[in-house]
Each structure stands twice: as structure tokens, then as C-alpha cells.
């Protein structure tokens, strides 16, 4: 569907967003971090009946490419997007790192969040499933490819790799994100900021150490549904443990589904959103 572009002023420049459809406002937070936005197909799925907002997170053009790359700044950027789009309050759909970010947004600005749909996230309880994600992805590909991907990823996390290194690593492990790696769809054209990836994950680790989400999620009162893939490389128990921290939150585990529920189970994220509205 045709999308209308807008610009949200933020420290260092602006964050570019797009709005599609009409109805209750829904903000989509893409995963990564440091990854180009890949949620246009999800936005199209939700645009019939909702005003869907999505944006390129800080770190890559057409948004500001400079930091700071911290959880706090990413939360502030999300609020700036809501302001620029004229959405005082919105439902928030977050995927992967974006699901983790959605939880931080909700605990810091509960008055701006009408409800949450958290799709196969990095969990709230340390380490959110990050270690198992890496191991499970490695287990789903040939050992020599797994070793290459690990080498490239370690370079990126140390801030020493190039964007090309990081994208090569992602392309190697891409099939492992799906319930049937041999039937995985082609990886879409993606870009990656190594600086944003490394800096944001360092900030995430700091918050794990401070138990930020563990301490603050129990105070939330908005309706929340977690949509988890039974065969995701992030085992569903991490999402279930995160949901257990939020009073009244529900977890839906989709069978034969990996890390991208709207791709392998079309309609699952929209159904969760409708449940949150209901």
C-alpha cells in the first residue's frame, strides 16, 4: 500500500517514518538493532482498519545515522515518532529487538501506550534468550558456516567489523530463523549499522544487569499479547517468562513457526492486535 512519509525531529537530526491506512494508531518497532526496517509487509497486513506507523530506527539513512545508541535514546526516538505523527497514544507492535524496545517504551511512557503486541522478542529476563539464539542458529547450519558466522558476529559486537561482515553473518544464519530452514524465504535486501548494533546491545546488557524490565513490567496495566514461534531460535519460554511479568498478559505459541510470525503464520500478529483492542 502507498505510504506517506514524515520526519520526526530528534537529537542529531531526524527519524524518517511512514504512515499507512486509517483507524486506531499502531506503531511498529522493527528488530535489529542497527538493521534497516523490514516491516512494510506487516504494515500492509495491518493497514486495513488501523493507522500504521513505522520508521527507520536511528543508525541508518534516511534517519539520523549518529548515536547515542542506547535504550534510552531509542525510547526517546519512538516517542518523537508518535509526536510527529500526531499520535498521542498508540498500540505498539514490536518484533525481536523491537519487542524488547516496546517493553522499555511501555515502562517509561505508559501513558503513550494503549496496548502491546510483542512478536518473538528478545526477552525481558536476562539474557532474554540471546545466548540460545546464537547457539540455535549455529546448530541449524553446517559447522564451517557456523564458525564463519560466529567470527563475523564477534567482530561486529566488538565494533571492529564492517557492515558487509555483519550482513554476511546474517545471510549465513538467515534460514535458521525459520521453522523449516530448507524452506526459508530469501533474505530481503537489508542494511546494517555495526556501530548501532554494538552500542545498543551494550546498553541492553546494562539494563539486564540493572534488572530494569524485571522491576518495572509488573506495574503495567495495558493489555498485552506475546506471539511466539514454537520453532524460533529464541525458545518460547523466554517470551513466556517475560509475559508472566506483566499482569494479565497472554502468550500465544504458534506451531510450525519460527522468528517471523507474520511470514510463517499470516494473520497471527493481526489477530493478537485485535485481541489487545478487544
Domain membership of residue 193 (yes or no) is no
Task: Tell me: do 108 and 143 sit in the same domain.
Answer: no
Domain membership of residue 189 (yes or no) is no
Task: Tell me: do 88 and 177 sit in the same domain.
Answer: no
pLDDT score for 276? 98
Task: Tell me: do 87 and 217 sit in the same domain.
Answer: yes
Domain membership of residue 194 (yes or no) is no
Task: Tell me: do 111 and 247 sit in the same domain.
Answer: yes
Q: What does the pLDDT look like over 155-194, one tens digit per residue?
A: 776 767 788 888 898 999 999 999 999 999 999 999 999 8
Q: What does the pLDDT look like over 36-66, one tens digit per residue?
A: 999 999 999 999 999 999 999 999 999 999 9
Residue 92: CATH number of its domain: 3.40.50.1820
pTM above 0.85, yes or no: yes
**pLDDT above 90 as % of the chain:** 87
Last residue of a domain, one of 183, 210, 226: 183
Residue 25 lies in domain: 4-125+200-277
Task: Tell me: do 113 and 138 sit in the same domain.
Answer: no
Task: Tell me: do 104 and 215 sit in the same domain.
Answer: yes
Task: Tell me: do 121 and 140 sit in the same domain.
Answer: no
Provide the number of structural domains found in the chain.
Answer: 2
Task: Tell me: do 107 and 205 sit in the same domain.
Answer: yes
Task: Tell me: do 35 and 104 sit in the same domain.
Answer: yes
Task: Tell me: do 19 and 152 sit in the same domain.
Answer: no
Q: What secondary structure does DSSP assign to the chain, as a single string?
A: ---EEEEEEETTEEEEEEEESSSSEEEEE--SSSBPP--HHHHHHH-TTSEEEEEPPTTSTTS------SHHHHHHHHHHHHHHTT-SSEEEEEETHHHHHHHHHHHH-GGGEEEEEEESPPPSSTTTTHHHHHHHHHHTS-HHHHHHHHHHHHHHHTT-S-HHHHHHHHHHHGGGGSSSGGGPPPPPP--B-HHHHHHHHHHHHHHHHHTHHHHHGGG--S-EEEEEETT-SS-HHHHHHHHTTSTT-EEEEETT--S-HHHHSTTHHHHHHHHHH-
Amino acid at each position: 500500500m502507498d505510504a506517506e512519509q514524515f520526519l520526526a525531529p530528534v537529537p542529531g537530526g531526524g527519524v524518517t517514518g511512514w504512515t499507512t491506512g486509517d483507524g486506531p494508531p499502531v506503531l511498529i518497532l522493527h528488530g535489529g538493532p542497527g538493521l534497516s526496517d523490514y516491516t512494510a509487509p506487516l504494515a500492509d497486513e495491518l493497514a486495513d482498519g488501523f493507522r500504521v506507523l513505522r520508521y527507520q530506527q536511528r543508525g541508518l539513512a534516511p534517519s539520523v545515522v549518529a548515536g547515542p545508541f542506547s535504550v534510552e535514546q531509542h525510547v526517546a526516538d519512538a516517542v518523537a515518532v508518535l509526536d510527529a505523527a500526531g499520535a498521542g497514544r498508540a498500540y505498539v507492535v514490536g518484533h525481536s529487538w523491537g519487542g524488547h524496545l516496546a517493553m522499555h517504551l511501555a515502562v517509561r511512557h505508559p501513558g503513550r501506550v494503549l496496548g502491546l503486541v510483542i512478536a518473538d522478542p528478545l526477552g525481558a529476563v536476562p539474557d532474554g534468550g540471546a545466548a540460545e539464539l546464537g547457539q540455535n542458529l549455529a546448530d541449524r547450519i553446517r559447522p564451517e558456516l557456523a564458525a564463519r558466522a560466529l567470527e563475523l558476529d564477534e567482530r561486529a559486537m566488538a565494533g571492529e567489523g564492517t557492515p558487509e561482515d555483519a550482513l554476511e553473518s546474517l545471510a549465513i544464519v538467515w534460514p535458521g530463523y525459520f521453522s523449516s530452514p530448507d524452506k526459508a524465504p530469501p533474505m530481503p535486501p537489508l542494511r546494517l549499522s555495526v556501530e548501532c548494533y554494538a552500542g545498543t546491545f551494550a546498553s541492553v546488557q546494562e539494563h539486564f544487569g540493572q534488572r530494569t524490565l524485571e522491576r518495572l513490567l509488573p506495574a503495567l496495566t495495558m493489555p498485552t499479547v506475546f506471539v511466539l514461534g514454537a520453532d524460533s531460535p529464541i525458545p518460547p519460554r523466554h517470551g513466556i517468562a517475560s509475559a508472566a511479568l506483566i499482569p494479565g498478559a497472554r502468550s500465544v505459541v504458534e506451531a510450525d513457526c519460527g522468528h517471523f510470525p507474520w511470514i510463517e503464520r499470516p494473520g497471527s500478529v493481526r489477530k493478537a492486535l485485535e485481541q489487545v483492542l478487544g
